[in-house]
Structure 1
Amino acid sequence: MQENDDKELRARVKLFGNLLGNVLSDQEDGQVLEAVETLRKGFIELRAAEDPLRREQLMRLIEALDPATLTHVLRAFSTYFLLANIAEEDYQHHERRTRVARGEPLWRGSFDDTVREFRANGVSAEQMQTLLDSLSFQPVFTAHPTEAKRRTLLEAQRRIFLLAKRLNDPNLGSFQRGVVEQQLQNQIQILWKTDEVRVHKPVVADEINNGLHYFRETLFQAVPYIYRNLERALGNSYGSEAASIRVPSFIRYGSWIGGDRDGNPFVTHEVTAMAVRMQSKVVLREYVRRLDELSHLLTHSSSLVRPSLSFAERLAADSKLAQVAFAEEPRRYSHEPYRRKLALMSYRLQRNLEALKAALDGHEERSPWCYASERDFLDDLYSIRDSLRSHGDGNLADADLKDLIRLAESFGFYLAALDIRQESTRHTEAVAELFACAPNLPDYMSLSEEGRLQVLGEMLSHAGTPLLYAEDLSENTREILAVMRTVASLREEISPRTFGAYVISMTHAASHVMEVLFLASFAGLCGRRSDGSWYCDLPISPLFETIDDLAHIEPVLNQLLDCEAYRALLAASGDVQEVMLGYSDSCKDGGILASAWNLYQAQRRIVTIAGRRGIQCRLFHGRGGTVGRGGGPTHDAILAQPAGTVQGQIKLTEQGEVLSSKYSNPETAVYELTVAITGLIKASRCAVSECTPDNPEYVGIMSELATRGEHAYRELTDRTPGFIDYFYEATPVNEIGLLNLGSRPSHRKKADRSKYSVRAIPWVFGWGLSRQIIPGWYGIGAALRDWQHGDAQRLATLRRMYDEWPFFRALLSNAQMSLAKSDMTIAAEYATLCADVTLAETVYEAIHGEYATTVAQALCVTQSDHLLNDNPRLRLSLDRRTPYLDPMNHIQLCLLRRFRAAEQGAEAERALWLNPLLRSINALANGMRNTG
């Protein structure tokens, strides 16, 4: 099946569009469908050939529509894009399944293709085991929504996806097909009658539930399937040798939802406790459900099999528990040992669930029959597995029971390790306040960096938990200390693995890390015991976000690791230093080229430092959905990391529309997880073979390009007078803040309109909706043009870089995606929203000029006729979407003018236009897909 042959997909999209048209015809008056069709056909015609008169007619139509009709027109386009997204997802899944069914070579990034490649390159079974043992794949869900679909919508879309799959059955008769199509229309009608815009701004609990939805509906199915596919691929390539290869459970999910308090005053220590308990409830309920299913399968009779001695001993040890659990029926399953054990396990988990419910209700109520830890639960599962194998039922042990074991190994009792995040100055203020309360401690704020490290190291070196010096502390300090106590108590209540790392935003100095550890010591999370030994139950992940921070990683980490107390605490926590790299803020700060290259160099420096110090390093990539926030195809992104830096471990954020696009359907989640994991496996090849270092010539060229690109970007964003006014007026960034997307404010400081105050998500979202997507490409064209300066030999070098260097290839490929979604004609219309015409012309011309230069340079270096020639599927998708995006952009422009023109005091008039305006943001997000 050819990548660019999407005849079947186009037919499916057309069917969905027709069914939506039927719903509009049945459910709305004729004006809505007539307006939709006129705009749809009209803008398709304009894309084919510009016609000023036709364009004017379409503009007059938009301006004549009343708010209610505009709302429904926007909802129609938005629903169309939801359906087109479902059609594309189903088509891609069906295409993959067809390849498997035909026995064709599987796609790049599949387990089968990856393992065959390793085997062909001489990687032995022993080396493969070494590589697998090094793996740690940690996706982290974050509440950074730019699309934040309501769970109701996600459920409706899932139903449509499943019905679409039924249409792929070649044995479906005409009558049956008609039935399915009617069911599809019914579901589209329900989708149409369901409000896609939130009426109220979500609270953190809503965000937690949104994240949990993907575990319940998708990941509990997908994760065991991933392991089975990998084992199957190993068997296909290694044959009998595969029996000696054991695939460990290396997938571990994380979360920031309920733990990320940086800039979000609504995430308190109580909210963190709620998040952890809500997570635990979800995973324990899944275990109870699966135990019940197993009890209907493992119905072995003790008269026909003899369980292993160790299993029998564990079952006998449960005699007191059985008296309670089977009080009304003491002989329940007396001759079915596995069913009896499974029932007792379920009883214990239900007691854990009761304790969680009580804790969520504010009570302490824990039965002595609760599982003390996930380790006890796993040991019970292992005993059943081993016993089944002992009497010839190993195949049964490797079926549903094995899937439950995989889940328990992957999710424990905590589901996803919750990271805590806070901004560095909050800790500095708290430490300074605590020091000020103690007469024998210096004025912390007046100390040098060396002085701070010395005194904090001395404080942490004292044996025992320090005492608080005062009770009358500021709200900030009380809350930080309460967070630490909450972490300590929940590790005891739920699991030692409940929490991941404490992430420090805006880490500028080594003392920022030591401050957190000092504050954590008050809760007994780290410190020194009376026997002199060290302990640390709170790993710290410094987050380096700006261009300047990335450039100073080396001195900060060296100074930190030179601190004896820190080095001792790191060793006590496992000698793994996690470092988080911020893609979003570095790109907003210095542009895409400087961000990408500084991140690349920072990774090399971090790994070099770790190797020199004899410690392990885990890089945590703070990626978003868009190119400007580190987005792009995950497989290629991982392969584009510097050689030798991945080392089997990667941690990366999953945020915004990425969650629904990857995790709404188990079928897609399996694919997305697979290509990410195979990227990790390939990038970790250095564990079993020698790494090929980067070409020094390419490294030098890239440094020059990054410098030129940053200069061009800063000329626009930092040194163009009035640029930030252009951003606020020529994009809908202020209006994005009115949409009920997330609980966190869109600005760090509400009154500050600077580039550094606005958060990276609304920054990227605003540029994206206005189709002038400078975070994804601005500065690349100028850098490439100026560096080669018309020199044919230099151009040839750039072309070799593109062919040979995964980093440079991924950079230009991702830039092309952003360029393809940009539209300078529409951007010019958004520029007219500026009050200062001269300013608008100046900034727009700079953006337009750099856009044209970047397109020309990208095509020249990649030797392509069109953008995205290397990704025909995406190009076809964008070509199919663009004519439908055009009317939505023009409707949004009309609404922005009317909403902004209304006097601030005229709330009724503003409210009239606000509803369709907010829907235009949602509709464009659905159409453009990766917007934030």
Structure 2
Amino acid sequence: MTKTADDKELRRSTRLLGSVLARVLKAQAAPKIAATVEQLQRGFTGLHRDGGAARRQSLLNIIEPLEAEVASDVVRAFSLYFSLLHIAEESTNLLKRRRQTERGGHYWPGSFHDTLLLLKQSGVTAEQLPALFEQLLYLPVMTAHPTEAKRRTVRNQLRNIFLTNERLDDPQVRGYYRQVALEKLHRQIQALWKTDEVRSRSMGVLDEIESGLFYFPLSLFQATTRLYRNFERALADVYGEAAARDIRIPSFLRYGSWIGGDRDGNPNVKPETTELALRMQTCTILQEYIRLLDELRGEITHSYGFCQPTEAFLASLAADREALGEAVTGLERHYLQEPYRHKLALMKYRMERTLAQAERRLAGQADARESHAYANAAVFMADLLLIRDSLYAHNDGEVAELGLRDLIRLAETFGFHLMQLDVRQESTRHSEAVAEILAALKFRADQADFCVDYRALDETQKLALLSQAIALPGGLDYDAAALSDTTRETLAVFRVMARMRREIGADCFSRYVISMTHAASHIMEVMLLAAQSGLAGRLGEGWYCHIGVSPLFETIDDLNHIESVLTTLLDLPVYRALLDASSERQEVMLGYSDSCKDGGILASTWGLYQAQRQVIAIAEARGIPCRLFHGRGGTVGRGGGPTHEAILAQPPDTVRGQIKFTEQGEVLFYRYNNMETAVYELTMGVTGLLKASISLVQPVRQDRTEDLAVMAELARIGEHSYRELTERTDGFLDYFYEATPVGEIGQLNIGSRPSHRKKKDRSKQSVRAIAWVFSWAQSRQTFPAWYGIGSALASWCAGKPERLQRLRAMYREWPFFRNLLSNAQMALSKSDMEIAREYAGLCPEPSTGKRIHDLIAAEYQRCEDWVLDVAEADGLLAENPELAASLKRRNAYLGPLNYLQATLLRRVRAGGDEAPAESPWMQPLLRSINAIAAGMRNTG
């Protein structure tokens, strides 16, 4: 049965924001703009209702006469509406959660209170909780993939509008104060209307680094401390105050980044870029520490005579004064009677010196050491703990639990590095580097055995040679002048890693990710290159290792070979010795994007599910702790979807307290542009992790063998169907490049990374998964997220009604299968085959456009029919009325934009290949890409 959504408050908020936008357009835009927007809406509504040729022509009659400048402003009006609608939805959802929290009980579903109550009801005792909590690690990793269509300036403006709208939701804001807030809202929306949302220049890596750092002072510092406080409060509420006192929730939240470290396919990321990223991260967190130390000075104001600090604290204060000498004479004179303010003043001074040192290094000054700077984050943490312990010692623990506790949490979470940077490079770069190094060896008796043609060796021979070379003390001696520029740059990356570990701390890097890992030798090649910079090797009789490697398995073929690669790797004595020496978990990264582009959603999803089971089983059989790293995108076609449900859909007993996953582009904006939303999103991820990790403390139900067999068969059929379309259908790739805006998306300037691995290569393998999904979504044929599901379900059930009952039981009882079909429903809801037909008309060969479109449309209908039949639902997203209503609200504005975009594409392309950027229609076209991305809340 279809659920209904109560959206009275949302409608009120939407009407308010819409009315302000209408007034802004009336005052600031040409009169034709608002009228055209209204005409397009009415025209599309009529077309959507009966779909006749006359209705379509009537809509086109509104679009065709539009001049480029008018079309541009019409698109901007639609885009601004989507942004305001998102603000209304976000504010309403926050309001609902606040009210649920005020009422108590379970709070909102997925909250800490709700989750701990469910754990308690399932039999998890307070005594078992430490075993669960101590294993936790939640690690979202920000990436710089080009999927965020909003400029940072626009994001700032939207943040301001959100805050003003929040104030208007406050019932205490009435009369004069409400009028003031309304006037402010009007001015803010007016300012946004006058702000260009399209970038005028290409994004560089520096822009991407700044964009990732943007969210920390905006929301994530505060959201991080709020998350822990909510967790602790819920623990006391559910398990009691005594349990909460006895059980410390460790600092399990970490943040990662690929920005400045991901060089796979991005020639703009150099070794110095990695240094730049880490130093900018350091400056960001040090600035926050300085701000918070200043706040603490106003909070911990105890005076001598009213408290007795511990001897350890007083000794530390005396040591600081002696070490800092005259530098702090002026600083401390106001605080000589207040021991904690005195200490905090000196700590702030030292942190300022630490920041000054970091800023000079950032500016390229080699000799940038500061004698009064903190040596590392551990020394800073020791000072904070001294203050905490001293406060507790004289019965002022409650004061320690204020801002000091939050600062300790931040120091534990961020250190001096802020985010743990992953470095990523493609495997062939390492193979070529190793081959060149071995060919350039100088004659030396102890390395005579390595003078071979590395490329000519088989896998077994390579592994033997690499194992022997890694164990060679002091590394290989080679002629660096004989190496190519590419290999020298590859080696420079490892030198940077070694230097930055010494400068910032051992935690500044997470893993070295190897994309396109096809063999165990690909991992060992990286270990050999690392050994040349002192990051790994043998010293005397012992091994050392300061680098962790994460093989990335991306394609369907890679997933099928994951068992042989990992088994070979983990059984290598040298690699096992290095892994043991590092005291780190083995991390394995799984790529959702390329596997889905390669073999379709069913083969990808099932291959990833099986791979997780295999990885954990292989590691467990060898007694090796293992963590999975999920390379998810924003859309379902790239592994996206709600994080909470996605974690719960992992195979039983594979999460085990730890999860790491990529977050990118528009996902960062929607989750982290506002603090309370950031708290909610982080909470939903962590509570999903808690539920999925219950196997650490009690047995969990394993997957049914018969369900696994059914999924394997469905995946086989689905992959065949997908490959038939994308690889064996004549004209399909022509259709992709002609019936979507993939070529024009490159003009958007939304990332430093090329959309194709090889220029002018129009193969499916060359186009990046992000551009692949982004382009199909723009043209409202989001088939990468569902194509093949309908064919698989229909084929497997053909003539056998009992099989449909089997599928229905799987949907009810198996989280993985339910999540798969739920995500498919969301993607199907964002598709529109009638709108896609308009894009198909862009193909120069009409018969090709019609033929490919008909194939996609037929599978769309088949998929919708069968998914609804299995889910026993009477409409898409019937079980998620809020999402269904949100998509419906957007569609009234998306539809006209799609028809307008198709017209703009036709006009830009009519000019031929000569300087399309000079076309007067290019600017409104780029705006339409931004606007549709905002409306669908997905890009790549």
Classify the TM-score, shorter chain: over 0.9
What is the aligned partner in structure 1 of residue 843 from structure 2? Answer: 834
- Superposed, which structure 2 residues align to 1:100-111 within 5 Å? 100-111=101-112
Equivalence map 1:575-614=2 (5 Å): 575-614=584-623
SS of residue paired to 1:497: helix
Q: Name the SS of the counterpart of 1:652 in structure 2.
A: strand
Q: Check conservation: 2:596, 2:784, Cα contact below 8 A.
A: yes
* Structure 2 match to 1:303: 305
| CA distance in 2 between partners of 1:176 and 1:575 (Å) | 56
Aligned to 1:674: 683
**Equivalents in 1 of 2:760, 2:96: separation in Å?**
51
Aligned residue number for residue 272 of structure 2: 270
Query: What secondary structure does 1:137 align onto?
Result: strand
Question: Quick check: 1:504–1:543 contact (8 Å CA) kept in 2?
Answer: yes
Q: 1:147·1:926 contact (CA, 8 Å) conserved in 2?
A: no
The CA deviation at 1:561 is 1.1
Whether 1:259 and 2:261 are equivalent positions in the alignment is yes
- In 2, the alpha carbon distance for the partners of 1:212 and 1:329 equals 31
In the alignment, does 2:819 pair up with 1:817? no
Cα shift readout 1:50-92 (whole Å, capped 9, x = no counterpart): 4543432221121101111100000000000000011111110
Aligned-residue offset at 1:663: 0.4
Within the alignment, does 1:345 sit opposite 2:347 as a pair?
Answer: yes
Q: Which moved more, 1:913-922 or 1:7-16?
A: 7-16
Q: Is the 8 A contact 1:262 1:421 kept in 2?
A: yes
In structure 2, how many angstroms separate the alpha carbons of the residues matched to 1:547 and 1:140? 23
Q: Is the 8 A contact 2:143 2:258 kept in 1?
A: yes
Match of 1:518 among 509, 521, 528: 528
Contact 2:422 2:510 in 1 (8 A): yes
Deviations 1:585-621 (A, max 9, x none): 0000000000000000000000000100101001000
Report whether the alignment pairs 1:497 with 2:507: yes
Identify the residue that residue 630 of structure 2 maps to in structure 1.
Answer: 621
Name the aligned partner's letter for residue 147 of structure 1. E
Contact 2:440–2:483 (8 Å) recurs in 1: no
- Report deviation, 1:28: 1.3
* Separation in structure 2 between the aligned mates of residue 742 and residue 758 of structure 1, nearest angstrom: 15
Residue 904 of structure 1 aligns with which residue? 913
Percent of aligned pairs sharing the same letter: 55
Decide which of 707, 717, 721 is 1:708's aligned counterpart: 717
Q: Which residue of 1 aligns with 2:67?
A: 66
CA shift for structure 1 position 583: 0.1
SS of aligned partner of 2:659: strand
Q: Deviations over 1:888-908 (max 9, x none)?
A: 001100100000011333658
Match of 1:38 in 2: 39
Deviation at 1:29, TM superposition (A): 1.5
C-alpha distance after superposition, 1:516-555 (max 9, x if no partner): 11111111011111x2211111100000000000010000
1:888 maps to what in 2?
A: 897
Q: Quick one: which amino acid aligns to residue 512 of structure 2?
A: Y
Counterpart AA for 2:230 = N
Find the counterpart in structure 2 of residue 919 from structure 1. 927
1:645 corresponding residue in structure 2: 654
- 1:162-177 correspondence runs (5 A): 162-177=163-178
- Alpha-carbon distance in 2 for matches of 1:318, 1:88: 52
The equivalent of 2:667 in structure 1 is 658
- Of the three residues 560, 569, 591, the one matched with 2:569 is 560
Contact 2:470–2:531 under 8 Å retained in 1? yes
Deviation string 1:30-59 (CA, Å, 9 cap, x unpaired) is 011111111123223333444543432221
Q: Which moved more, 1:301-310 or 1:314-323?
A: 314-323
Structure 1 stretch 842-851 or stretch 253-262: which is displaced more? 842-851
Work out which of the residue numbers 469, 481, 485 in structure 1 matches 2:495: 485
Give 1:797-812 correspondences, 5 Å limit: 797-812=806-821
Contact 1:591 1:775 in 2 (8 A): yes
Where does residue 367 of structure 1 map in the other structure? 370
Tell me how far apart the structure 2 counterparts of residues 318 and 148 of structure 1 sit (CA, whole Å): 49
CA RMSD of aligned residues (A): 1.3
Q: What do residues 693-742 of structure 1 show as CA deviations (whole Å, max 9, x unaligned)?
A: 10111000000000000000000001111211111111110111111100
Are 2:332 and 2:346, in contact at CA under 8 Å, matched by a contact in 1? no
Alpha-carbon distance, 1:362 to partner? 1.2
For the residues of structure 2 that align with 1:830 and 1:29, how far apart are their CA atoms? 29
User: Residue 894 of structure 1 aligns to a residue in which SS?
Assistant: helix
Using the alignment, how far apart are the partners of 1:329 and 1:849 within structure 2? 75
Distance (Å, rounded) in 1 between the aligned partners of 2:170 and 2:365? 53
Are positions 1:87 and 2:88 aligned together? yes
SS, match of residue 214 in structure 2? helix
Report if aligned partners of 2:911, 2:919 keep a CA contact under 8 Å in 1. no
1:141 aligns with 2:142: yes
| Residue aligned with 2:919, SS | helix
The amino acid that maps onto 2:159 is: R
- TM-score (structure 2 length as normaliser): 0.97
Distance 1:470 1:170, change over 3 A: closer
Counterpart pick for 2:287 among 273, 285, 288: 285
Instruction: Give yes or no for contact 1:146–1:925 (8 Å, CA) kept in 2.
Output: no
CA distance in 1, matches of 2:312, 2:804: 70
Counterparts of 1:179 and 1:906, CA distance in 2 = 49
Distance in 1 of aligned mates of 2:199 and 2:105: 45
SS at match of 2:661: strand
Q: Which residue of 2 aligns with 1:528?
A: 538
Which amino acid letter does the alignment assign opposite residue 316 of structure 1?
A: A
Match of 1:931 in 2: 939
Whichever residue aligns with residue 866 of structure 2, its letter is Q
Secondary structure, aligned partner of 2:812 = helix
Check the 8 A contact 1:543/1:579 in 2, yes or no. yes
Deviation string for 1:722-768 (max 9, x for gaps)? 21111111111011111110000000001211001000000000110
1:444-463 equivalence runs, <5 A? 444-463=454-473
Report how far residue 119 of structure 1 moved. Answer: 1.2
Contact 2:421–2:508 at 8 Å: present in 1 too? yes
Preserved CA contact (<8 Å) 2:215 2:673: yes
2:233 equivalent to 1:232? yes
Q: Map Cα deviations across residues 665-711 of structure 1 (whole Å, 9 max, x no partner).
A: 01100000001000000000000001211011100000000000000
CA distance in 2, matches of 1:695, 1:97: 40
Instruction: Provide Cα deviations, 1:393-412, integer angstroms capped at 9, x if missing partner.
Output: 10111111000000010011
Q: In structure 1, list runs of 5 or more residues that go unmatched.
A: none
CA distance in 1, matches of 2:326, 2:519: 56
Task: Name the structure 1 match of 2:28.
Answer: 27
Q: Is the 8 A contact 2:146 2:752 kept in 1?
A: no
CA displacement at 1:330 relative to structure 2: 5.8
The residue type paired with residue 432 of structure 1 is A
Q: 1:691 aligns with which of 700, 703, 728?
A: 700
SS in structure 1 of the partner of residue 421 of structure 2: strand
- The amino acid that maps onto 2:938 is N
Q: CA deviation at 1:360?
A: 1.5
Distance 1:423 1:452 in 2: 18
Contact 1:47–1:883 (CA<8 Å) still a contact in 2?
Answer: no
Change (3 A) 1:65 1:381: same
Residue 415 (structure 2) pairs with residue 412 (structure 1): yes
Aligned-partner Cα distance in 2 for 1:241–1:773 = 49
1:324-360 Cα offsets, whole Å, 9 max, x none, are 4323456441111111111111111111111111111
* Structure 1 Cα separation of the partners of residues 695 and 423 of structure 2: 32
What's the offset of the Cα at 1:838? 2.1
Please point out which of 874, 877, 883 is paired with 2:886.
877
CA offset digits 1:358-384 (Å, max 9, x no partner): 111111211121111101100100110
Asked if 1 retains the 8 angstrom alpha-carbon contact of 2:101 and 2:108, the reply is: no
Residue identity in the other structure for 1:630: G
Note the C-alpha offset of 1:470. Answer: 3.0
Are the equivalent residues in 2 in contact too, given 1:575–1:615 (CA < 8 A)?
A: no
Does the 8 Å contact 2:75/2:927 carry over to 1?
A: yes
Deviation at 1:104, TM superposition (A): 4.7
Deviation at 1:313, TM superposition (A): 1.5
Q: More deviation in 232-241 or 279-288?
A: 232-241
Aligned partners of 1:326 and 1:332 also within 8 Å: no
